[in-house]
Amino acid sequence: MYFYNLFKRRDHATVVTVVFHTMRSSDIKRAAGLLSKLRRRVSVLDAYIVYYGERTGVASSIPLHYPEELYSRGSALYDGSRLASSSLVVFINAGSKCFTPDSVVDAVDSILTGEAIIYMSAPSGSQGLFTGFKSITRELGGESTRLGLMASPAYSIVVTLAKYVKRYSFWSIEPFIALNATNTSGKAIRVNNECVDLVDLGWLEPLIITDLRSRLVRYLQPVSDMGDGS
Amino acid sequence: MRIALVTTARFSRLALELLRNIKTPTALHVFSMDPEVEAVAREVKAAFNKFNSIEELYMYRELESCDIGVIALDRDSDSIAVTRILGKMGVPLVFIVLNTRGNMELARGEGAEYVISLDEYVVGNILPIILMDSWVSMRIIDAFNLGVAVYRVWKRGVLGVKLGDFLDKLKGKPAMLMVYDKAGRIVMNEDHVLEQGDALILIAKYSELLEYISSIEKIFSKYEEYVARRYSEQFPTMPRTMG
């Protein structure tokens, strides 16, 4: 009976890889708590923390990975997708105040049923980053409709298939997956903007916006102009 | 023996150097995402296989018969993912070259037997020259768990410590201590008195280095105490008056 209950609690037989990402070492301990909450609802094959902050030698019960590029959230998420054993990856900001197991279950559901290729919940960043991102999407003209649902280039909870993580900017992978996904299907993006994780990005903010703008423009250049668009 | 080398163009010189120096009859398989690496494979008469994504490696059956895997890719995450694949394909011995020492545990967790981290070498080669009066330790051969610790003597060069004092403390222990003096000679003479500019070099198991360093440090502090006492007795001081 005990085992029956144990299985009943899980909403999915499908296994996922959970990738926590953070720049603050204090969030590493928190990730273990979030993972144990999540394990009750979703079958987790493996979990990692990608830590893109500067302090090394931090202890963690979850395997810890240090990306080569320091302070780069985009590189950290990309590395997380490379480490994943499962094809379905759940990226969670370890410092998020918006995390609930329900939002992850909902996201996994929508990916498994084929409703979406990427599910993003809880925009994360500073007010400046949100406005900057909006201005970038406006500049991109016709492409803005494909990224129009997104309030931020970074989300605290992102669920997608690992194979769609192909490109990244300094801070995000989300817009690139979204553009990839919309090539496949118009309804491929699901976004939940209800809860917002406000983070002070300080000196990183202008750097993130400039880098994102240039990388998105380069990505969307016609092949004839820019080779393979890389 | 069969060796599988999974690498990128960035490490092609390293790959060539490694494969050229294997003198025993060996079947070599080179796997890479970069077509440029094919030139290296041809140079050492190795079979070359180009793959487009890491998961494609599962399709190469020749990996199953390899005895040794050597992985050196640009990103640590890719190297760790390849380690996992080689482990699943039954390669018994895997060497992995990492950029960041922090990822060592993760690589070992995925089944890499020997981990070589580049940042450790770079930092370990620069710091002993810059830092004075502090210990810098680094792993030199991961397979033997061998480490070296270097201490550049500066302020403590006036203490008059003899190399023999340290050697007595380390007697019977599996560690080797020597001095690289400022003239560039290796000194192992017990009567050598440490001077400014000398470097103490300690070689032992990496995991035991800290233990030996602390016993050497105890001798240094004892000498510091002697010198401090000698000076305080020579110049009697008066307590400061109130107000």
* B120-141 per-position pLDDT tens digit: 889 989 998 899 999 999 988 8
Alpha-carbon distance A56 to nearest alpha carbon in chain B (angstroms): 7
Please state the domain extents for chain B: 2-116, 131-234
| Residue A5 banded pLDDT, cuts 50, 70, 90 | very low
Query: Which residues on adjacent β-strands are paired with residue A160?
Result: A89, A118
Write the DSSP symbol of residue B239: P
Mean residue pLDDT across chain B: 91
Per-residue pLDDT, B19 = 86
pLDDT value at position B127? 92
- CA A33-A35-A38 angle, 5° bins: 115
Residue type, B97: V
The greatest distance separating any two alpha carbons of chain B, rounded to the nearest whole angstrom, comes to: 87
| CB contact (8 A) between residue A63 and residue B106 | yes
Instruction: Search chain B and give the residue with CA nearest A62.
Output: B106
Report which DSSP code applies to B200.
E
CATH number of the domain encompassing residue A84: 3.90.550.10
Give residue A186's pLDDT.
64
**Cβ B54–A56 below 8 Å, yes or no?**
no
Reported confidence tier of residue B192, pLDDT bands at 50, 70, 90: very high
Which tokens is B13 given?
A: 């010189």
**Would you say residue A216 lies in a domain?**
yes
Q: Is residue A226 scored above 80 in pLDDT?
A: no
CA atoms within 13 A on the CB side of B153: 25
Range of the domain at A14: 2-224
| Spatial distance between the Cα atoms of A82 and B21, rounded to a whole number of angstroms | 32
Pairing relationship of beta strands A88-93 and A15-22 according to DSSP bridges: parallel
pLDDT at residue B243, as a whole number: 55
Q: Residue B70: phi, psi to the nearest 5? A: -120, 125
| pLDDT confidence of residue A126 | 92
For A167-182, write each residue's pLDDT tens digit.
999 999 999 998 888 7
Question: CA-CA distances (angstroms) from residue A68 to A48, A65, A72, B120, B241?
Answer: 16, 10, 9, 14, 59
Supply the pTM of this predicted model. Answer: 0.82
In contact, B230 and B173? CB cutoff 8 Å: no
In this structure, are residues A116 and A160 in contact, taking their beta carbons and an 8 Å threshold?
no
List the single best residue of A61, A65, A86, A166 to mutate versus B (max B Cβ within 10 A).
A65
User: How far apart are the C-alpha atoms of A95 and A108, rounded to whole Å?
Assistant: 21
Pairing, β B146-152 against β B135-141 = antiparallel
User: What would the mean pLDDT of B43-70 be, rounded to a whole number?
Assistant: 92
- CA A98: distance to chain centroid? 14
Query: What φ, ψ does residue B92 adopt, rounded to 5°?
Result: -70, -30
Q: Give the side-chain half-sphere CA count within 13 A for B199.
A: 22
pLDDT 10s digits, B94-111? 999 999 988 999 999 999
Assess B196–A contact: CB distance below 8 Å, yes or no. no
How many angstroms separate the CA atoms of B168 and B159, rounded?
A: 18
Nearest to B109 among A63, A78, A85 (CB): A63
Look at residue A108 and tell me if it is in a domain. yes
Residue B220 has pLDDT above 50, yes or no: yes
Name chain A contacts of B100, Cβ cutoff 8 Å.
66, 68
B2-116 and B131-234, same CATH topology: no
Q: Do the chains contact at A83 and B54, CB–CB below 8 Å?
A: no
Q: Which chain B residue lies closest to A87 (C-alpha atoms)?
A: B55
pLDDT 10s digits, A43-60? 999 999 999 998 777 788
Query: What band does B23 get if pLDDT is binned at 50, 70 and 90?
Result: confident
Residue of B nearest to A85 (CA): B81
CATH number of the domain at B131-234, please? 3.30.70.1450
Is the Cβ pair B106, A64 closer than 8 Å? yes
**Tokens read off for B8:** 């990128």
pLDDT above 60: residue A6: no
Cβ atoms of B48 and B73 closer than 8 Å: no
Closest to A177 (Cα-Cα) out of A186, A166, A187: A166
Domains of chain A: total: 1
Is the CB of B77 less than 8 angstroms away from the CB of A64?
A: no
User: Chain A residues with CB inside 8 Å of B71's CB?
Assistant: none
**For residue B236, what pLDDT band results from cuts at 50, 70 and 90?**
low
Decide if B30 contacts B41 (C-beta within 8 A): yes
Helices (H), chain B: 12-20, 37-43, 76-88, 104-109, 118-130, 163-170, 209-234
CB contact under 8 A, A82 and B99: no
Question: B70 and B91 in contact (C-beta within 8 Å)?
Answer: no
The ipTM value here is 0.79
- Reported as a pLDDT band with limits 50, 70 and 90, residue A1 is very low
Looking at residue B241, its pLDDT comes to 66
Share of chain B above pLDDT 70, in %: 96
Q: Do A79 and B105 touch (CB under 8 A)?
A: no
Residue A4: the pLDDT is: 47
Distance CA A31, CA A90 (A): 13
Average pLDDT over residues A141-149: 72
Residue B15 banded pLDDT, cuts 50, 70, 90 = confident
Q: CA B194, CA A109: separation in Å to the nearest integer? A: 70
For residue A98 the two structure tokens come to 């918006």
CA atoms of B164 and B189, how far apart (whole Å): 8
Spell out where A94-224 has E strands.
118-125, 155-161, 189-192, 197-198
The residues, ordered by sequence, that sit 6+ positions from A206 with a Cβ below 8 Å of its Cβ are none
What distance lies between CA A41 and its chain's CA centroid? 20
pLDDT tens-digit series, residues B141-150: 888 889 999 9
- Distance, in Å, from the CA atom of B163 to the CA atom of A30, rounded to the nearest integer, reads 49
Domain B2-116 belongs to what topology? Rossmann fold (3.40.50)
Q: Output the CA–CA distances (angstroms, integers) from residue B165 to A94, B149, B170, B221, B226, in the order listed.
A: 51, 18, 9, 13, 14
Residue A141 has pLDDT above 50, yes or no: yes
Residue A230 within a domain: no
Structure tokens at B81: 């993912």
For B129, the 3-state DSSP assignment is helix
User: For testing the chain A interface, which of B54, B75, B77, B115 should be mutated: the one with the most A CBs within 10 Å?
Assistant: B77
Question: Which chain B residues are Cβ-neighbours of A82 within 8 angstroms?
Answer: 54, 75, 77-78, 80-81
Q: Which of residues 35-74 of A touch B (CB under 8 A)?
A: 48, 56-57, 63-68
In the structure, what pLDDT confidence band is assigned to residue B205 with cuts at 50, 70 and 90? very high
Q: Which residues of B touch A64 (CB under 8 A)?
A: 102, 105-106
Q: Does A224 score more than 60 pLDDT?
A: no
Would you call A83 and B77 a contact, using CB atoms and an 8 Å cutoff?
Answer: yes
Rounded distance between C-alpha atoms, residue A208 and residue A126, angstroms: 11
